[in-house]
Amino acid sequence: MSNTGTREQPDFEMRDVPVTDPSQTARIGTQPPETPPASAQAASAQSPASQSPSTQRSQAKENRRQALLSAAAALFAAEGFNRVSLEDLGAAAGVSGPAVYRHFAGKQAVLGALLLSVSQELLDGGRRVVVESEGAAAALSGLVEFHVDFALSNPDVIRVQDQDFSNLAQDDQAEVRTLQRNYVELWVEVLARLHVDTEAAELRMRAHASFGLINSTPHSVRTHGRRIAVKRARPLLESMALAALLAPAVPAPHS
């Protein structure tokens, strides 16, 4: 995420889409098997009616936790961490203020869970993109698409990171920085295969500059003058980021 003011910021600026295989239907005239296929058994095992009470409680607790994190992202982005109370968070998620303590030790813990989880998701998602890509060019294009999708889908989280990172506990700050540094280095490793014999510092600068461009979306897409539709913003952001990442290096001036 872009740095603002003079306070220290993390090293970079701030999904899985479930894929379901088509179900196979039995051929007409054939006798269905006595034992349901494995996919049907798995689906039955996951149905609410077949879940044990403890499993249902665990799922309900996780759903409430995620609701609290979503509410925190929206409220912290709009009001700032210091202006939001636990009662505000609880009300936005449909629980009482004291009930928040069933999921988090306090408001600072909510902020930590929010930024830690999204930093881990970015790193894990970026790694998947690289592993599943054939060649450095495809990997870089995939990383850009992945990060643009993140930025367009999570503008509130980007705002929170930008304005409230300093409100994290020290341990959480260190962990977020480590996750984000690893994410940057993932990009640097891909760029090194495209810009041979280029210093890592320059490749890192390219990555940071691209993050800044992409992460400007909470301001440029949503709130700056007339809003730009996501379907128009996405290809524009992707093409600009790729142009910056692939631009030829400028020769150093002769002394």
Contact 211, 12 (CB under 8 A): yes
Question: pLDDT tens digit string along 26-54?
Answer: 333 333 334 444 444 444 445 555 667 77
Question: pLDDT tens digit string along 215-246?
Answer: 987 665 554 455 667 788 899 999 999 999 99
Q: How far is CA 91 from CA 5, 68, 72, 156, 176, in A?
A: 32, 9, 11, 18, 28
CA distance 233 to 222: 10
Q: Is the pLDDT of residue 254 over 50?
A: yes
Distance from the first to the final alpha carbon of the chain: 35
Question: pLDDT tens digit string along 49-95?
Answer: 566 777 887 777 788 889 999 999 999 999 999 999 999 999 999 88
CATH architecture of 107-246: Orthogonal Bundle (1.10)
**Please, what is the angle between helix 136-153 and helix 230-246, to 10°?**
140
Domain residue ranges in the chain: 107-246
Q: What is the mean pLDDT of residues 122-138?
A: 98
The predicted pLDDT at position 220 comes to 59
Residue 17 phi, psi dihedral angles, 5° rounding:
-100, 115
Q: What is the mean pLDDT of residues 177-195?
A: 98
